[in-house]
Structures are given as structure tokens and as C-alpha cells.
Amino acid sequence: MGLRYPEQLARKTARLEHARGRYPELARATLVGVAPAEPALGYRTRVKWMVGERGELGLYARGEDHVVADIPGCLVVDPAIGDAARALRSFLAKEGPARRLRAIDIRLARAARERARLLLTLVSEQGALAEPEVVALAREIQLRCPAVAGVAWNETRKNAVQVLGARTKLLVGVSALPDDVGTSTITATFGAFVQAHRGQAAAIERVVVDAARALGRAPRVLELFSGAGAFAIALARAGATVDAVESHEPAVAELDRQAIAGIRAHAADADAFTRAAAQRGESWDLVVVDPPRRGLPPALREAIAAVRPRAAVYVSCDPETLARDLAHLARAGLATVEIRGLDMIPQTDEVEAVAILAPAPAPAPPPRDKGDKWSVVEVAAHAPAGNLALPPLAGASGLALELERGASRPTTRWSALALVKGVVHKRGSLRGRARYVRLAVASGHSLIRIEGSTPAQAASDLASIGHPVLGDKRCDPPTLRHFFDKHGLDRPFWHTDELEIEGRSPVTSPLPGDLAQVLESLGAEFPDPRQKS
């Protein structure tokens, strides 16, 4: 917030450029600089604020362990939310039920030039509050703050990563409000996603509708992570038929209730829905996705390509996961034509982007080295191993050996970079079959260089001593989820970066962009590739 606004925009554009620059698959995509927001203050229509031990209301302080930084004069929220926050602080100032809340979720809705109205969700850990206490608090809040049209209660598990738990119960007032977003009037519900800035949401809507109109009359559209249906409603009004897929059931129920011609709303997981559709052979003209910050799972990217769209629009709030996903989609047959930046959250370092994709064959990389009956080839992340003689770890990336039918494998030496769970010894041997050297420790995990028997065997031996490769299926589910959500790791952190056939010079491969981004996210130094075991 201390930077002049033009400098904020320049830094956001640089972040997009940095993310795109990691991936050769995106080299031809046009990058349009970040469009400014108007207004740049007082714009935010939803907040999730944490409650501190002494009644603080704000966000977790950077670099602290769940310490709430009080922000009584937040400049980016809509004034109506600021007014409600002042009323809430009077409850938090004294001991009582409000002090036992974990968080407060405030959603603003404004339709047909009416005054702003609010939906308030009180969030507590399971067992922290009894229902009569929460109901009494909700009634007091509504009396103190007339703009609050409805109050709900949400319970979450202790130490849960997500702010909101699975169930929300209405306590007083209404459960839904009409809300104008772009050219559509959607239904605001407790806990449903909404873009932070109305003006920028309208700009994204125009991109989405233009993409549909470019395909001709009545295109079929698959919208994933559709939320309350703002894009779906605008698309239907433009003549498209839309399958809107959203896992938040209240949002789907409200969209269903509106019975808008041309929209079929599906309460479903985007991944499962699209994979099932691809298996049935279904297709759409346009696919629109607006996923959470962690981006799309690999299987969903492949399913999106498998439904054979004539175009796709990817809306993202995280340049790093966007670039990772776009690179994979390009290898699956959907190339990025353009990336447009928008300042959805002014006064922060966050940047929104909209990518336009079109079908294009993915070029097959040429062999890196070739002998009489063998070739050294480059394997991209998530690519099937096929009949490779010395493939990387399943789902991972790097150099591999391809043999002609009936040929015997030449004497080969390989070396890989891997990130493994926990802190390993500085040097070690794995059952005499492989050896490694630790290059760095980042967030309690080890970056190693390893060589030996086969990548699959080496990874299995690492797991057997309690140090599985991060992102590999041998890792425990909480660790897998943490690294996907927080660091964008969506596959095994393994890259076979050197392969040498006896009697020839070694072939090397740089660390791919997605793994380099994981190291940057962890704050790890890039290793010297000359360090060997």
C-alpha cells in the first residue's frame, strides 16, 4: 500500500511476466499488462476476518504463528463492511461469546441501486460455543447493525486450514440476497465465492462473453467453479447454453431456483464431473474455469482437453499456479493465446489474470541424443512413461532412455534432483542401490541429488526409510494436500536432470518451471547442478 498506484501495477505485471517466463510452452502467448481498478480503495465486498485472543479483528500477521493483526481502519473494504466491523468490535471488546469466535465472514450485496445489505457468518471451533449463545449474539448484532440482513453460524475443526467448515446454519434474518455483479443479478449466500472488485468482475465477464460470441450462435459452454452463476447468467443472456458446475450446494440451489433459460446447474465436484463427461465422450464449444488459488488438479486439466473445446477461458487469482496449469494444458492440446492482467485486489501484491486458450497440437520435443538403437528423450511432467527403458519417477519429469524394439540397454548413468520429506543425512546410501547428497533444507524438508539403480527403485527405497519424495503417492495425504495448496506442487518433485550413455557426453536438463516455483515458494536456494553424490 505504500507504493504509488502505477508502481503497484508495474510490479503486478512483472509478476505475471516472471510466472509466464518459467515455461517455454507459454513463450508465444501475448501478455497484456495489468488493467487498473476503479476505485482502488473502498472496493472489497467480502472479507473473512480472524478473531484474536484479546478480541482483535483482522488477518493473521505475516511471519507469525496465527497471531491476529488488528485492522480497525481497513481502507480497502466497502464502507458498509467498515460500519459493521465497528459494531462487531463493541462485542469483541468485552469478555463473552464473541471472544470465542474463530472468524467472521462478511458478504455485502447490493442490487438495483438499493442500499448495501450484509450476510454475516459467525465461525467457531467445534464445541467452543453453544447454540443459544450464538443465537443471542446474532440477534444483538442485527439490532446494533441494521445493514445486517442475515446471520449464520459455521463450526469448523480445531486447527483446520480452511476458515469455513462444511455446514452453515441460519440463525436470524434471511439466507440469501440479490447482488448485482457485472450485467447479472446473482444470489448472494453465506460462504459463496464472489470476486473482490465489482468493476473488475464486470471486465472479466466481458472477456468470457466475447469468447462465447466468437464461436457463433448458441455455443455450448461448460463452466467449472461457477459459484453463484455470474458468468453463467451473462452467457445465457448472450445466447449460450451453459452447464454450470459448482460444489457449494447452496449456490447451486439458488441458481436452480432462478430457473434461467439456458442454464443447467450441477452440484458436483469439477474434477469428477469433467472426467466422467470425458469418459462418456461429451464435448463443449467453450470451457470456462475460475478455480481457487491452488489451481486445477492435473487430472482435471487432462479432462478439460479431453472434452475437445473450441476455446477455453481460464480466470485465475494466482499467476504461478495459472502458468503451471497453462503449460500442462498446452502439452494436452490447448495452447494459450493471450494472458490479460487485472487488478482485482488493489493495494496488495495479488494479481488476477484471464487466459484465452485455443486447440493446438503440442509439438513433440526432438531427441536430446541419439545412438544406433537408442535415444535420450525429455519427458514432461504428467506424461505417460510408455515403453521407456529408464523413465523418471511416475508422473515426474526429466531425461529418459528410449530403445528400439529388441535393442539391449546400453550402460547408462542417471542423476536426479528430488525434494524429500524430512531432513535426511548429509550423505547416504539406499540399500547399496543408490546414493544421495543433501543440497539444502527448506521448511524441514530436504533437496537432494540422487543417482543409482532406477528412479522408481530409488524413490521406493527413500520411502522405506521414511523420506518419500514430496508429491509422490507414497507421501501421506495431509502432506500431499499441503504442498499442493500452499506451494503448487501437483506431482512428484523429481527431475532426472542428467543422463549419460557410456562413451558419450552427458545430456543435461534444467529444472522445470513448476519445480523451480516450488523451491521459490519454500524460500530455498537453487542448487548448484554441478554438486553430485
Whether the CB-CB separation of 110 and 44 falls below 8 Å is answered with no
CA atoms within 13 A on the CB side of 294: 15
Q: Same domain for 140 and 79?
A: yes
Residue 469: which region, alpha, beta or left (left: phi > 0; alpha: psi -120 to 50)? beta
Q: Classify burial at 432, counting beta carbons within 10 Å of its beta carbon; exposed 0-12, middle 13-18, buried 19 or more.
A: exposed
Q: Is residue 39 reached through a cis peptide bond, with omega within 30 degrees of 0 on the bond before it? A: yes
Do 349 and 375 lie in one domain? The reply is no
Return all residues near 485 (Cβ < 8 A) that are at least 6 apart. 161, 294
Cell numbers at residue 368, please?
Answer: 536430446
Cβ-based neighbour number of residue 525 at 10 Å: 11
pLDDT tens digits for range 90-148: 999 888 999 999 999 999 999 877 789 999 999 999 999 999 999 999 999 999 999 99
The total number of structural domains in the chain stands at: 3
pLDDT band at 533 (very low <50, low <70, confident <90, very high): very low
The average pLDDT across 231-258 equals 91
How confident is the model at residue 527, as a pLDDT? 58
Residue indicated by cell numbers 459467525 = 122
**Domain end (from 142, 176, 210):** 176
pLDDT of residue 82: 93
Question: How far apart (Å, rounded) are the C-alpha atoms in residues 100 and 118?
Answer: 22
Task: State which amino acid sits at residue 80.
Answer: A
Alpha-carbon distance values, 356 to 283, 326, 392, 524 (Å): 18, 10, 32, 32
Q: Compute the average pLDDT of residues 226-247.
A: 93
| Direct distance between the N- and C-terminal alpha carbons of the chain, in angstroms, rounded to an integer | 46
pLDDT at 194: 82
Answer whether residue 213 is part of any domain. Answer: yes
Answer yes or no: do 399 and 503 share one domain.
yes
Question: What is the dihedral angle through the alpha carbons of 200, 350, 186, 48, rounded to the nearest 10 degrees?
Answer: -140
Do the Cβ atoms of 491 and 471 come closer than 8 Å? yes
Percent of the chain with pLDDT over 70: 98
Size (the chain), residues: 533
Q: CATH number, domain at 169?
A: 2.40.50.1070
Residue at 529 is within a domain: no
Answer whether 37's CB lies under 8 Å from 344's CB: yes
> Is the domain of 211 the same as that of 250?
yes
Which grid coordinates belong to 273?
464431473
Instruction: Indicate whether 345 and 436 sit together in one domain.
Output: no
CA 316 to chain centre: 8
CA-to-CA distance for 507 and 498, rounded, in angstroms? 6
Question: Are 405 and 337 part of one and the same domain?
Answer: no
Are 206 and 355 members of one domain?
yes
> From its phi and psi, is residue 321 left (phi > 0), alpha (psi between -120 and 50) or beta?
alpha
Q: Is 507 a domain residue?
A: yes
Residues 179-222: pLDDT tens digits?
888 888 888 889 887 888 989 999 999 999 999 999 999 999 99
- What is the value of pTM for the model shown? 0.88
Domain carrying residue 341: 5-38+196-359
Do 52 and 101 belong to one domain? yes
Q: What is the pLDDT of residues 421-462, one digit of tens each?
A: 999 999 999 988 999 999 999 889 999 999 998 999 999 999
Strand boundaries in 411-459, DSSP class E: 412-420, 427-430, 434-442, 445-452
- Of 336, 290, 298, 299, the residue nearest 317 (C-alpha): 290
Q: Is residue 240 part of a domain?
A: yes
Report how far residue 165's alpha carbon sits from residue 156's, in angstroms, rounded to the nearest whole number: 4
Same domain, 331 and 239: yes
Q: Give pLDDT, residue 35.
A: 95
Q: Of 145, 176, 207, at which residue does a domain stop?
A: 176
Write out pLDDT tens, residues 259-307: 889 999 999 999 999 999 999 999 999 999 999 999 999 999 999 999 9
Q: Is residue 489 part of a domain?
A: yes
333 assigned to some structural domain: yes
Query: 25 and 63 share a domain?
Result: no
β 30-35/334-342 pair status: parallel
Same domain assignment for residues 320 and 200: yes
Exposed/middle/buried for residue 297 (C-beta within 10 Å: 0-12, 13-18, 19+)? middle
Greatest Cα-to-Cα distance within the chain, rounded to the nearest angstrom:
83
Clarify whether residues 17 and 57 are in a common domain.
no
Please check whether residue 258 lies inside any domain of the structure: yes
pLDDT of residue 515: 96
CATH code of the domain covering residue 272: 3.40.50.150
> Could you give the C-alpha distances from 381 to 375, 457, 492, in angstroms and in order?
19, 19, 9
User: Considering the chain, what is the average pLDDT of its residues?
Assistant: 92
- pLDDT value, residue 203: 94
The CATH number linked to 410 is 3.30.2350.10
Closest C-alpha among 216, 255, 264, 266 to residue 238: 216
CB 328 within 8 A of CB 382: yes
- Please answer whether residues 111 and 53 qualify as being in contact, where contact means their C-beta atoms are separated by less than 8 angstroms: no
Q: Which of 333, 359, 385 is the last residue of a domain?
A: 359
pLDDT on residue 530: 47
- For residue 527, is it within any domain? no
Does residue 525 carry a pLDDT above 60? yes
